[in-house]
Amino acid sequence: QWTPQSPSVDEGHVREELADVLTYCIMMADALGVDMDDIVMGKLAKTKSKYPAEAVRDDFEEYEHRHLNARKTDDDAQSSPSK
């Protein structure tokens, strides 16, 4: 929805929406005592391992394959009873 091809994107409105989301995220992290740098770096490391650039760059089918397999694994883990 935010691509340059989108019809008449109001940059001012987009900036305000981003500010709202970022403010909410900062407030939520603060309320939960979460270090934002730690969670962002952790997520980037996880993404790097799931989708290594050399494997998925310019290969949407490979990315999609890895993404669907990751979702299947996540769904299986969530549906399994905890021990």
Q: What is the pLDDT along the chain (83 residues), one digit of tens a residue?
A: 556 666 677 888 889 999 999 999 999 999 999 999 999 999 999 988 888 888 888 888 888 888 888 877 777 777 766 54
Closest alpha carbon to 2 in 12, 16, 14: 14
Residue holding tokens 């790097």?
48
pTM: 0.61
Cα–Cα distance for residue pair 39/49, rounded to 1 Å: 15
Which residues neighbour 49 within 8 Å (Cβ) at sequence distance 6 or greater? none
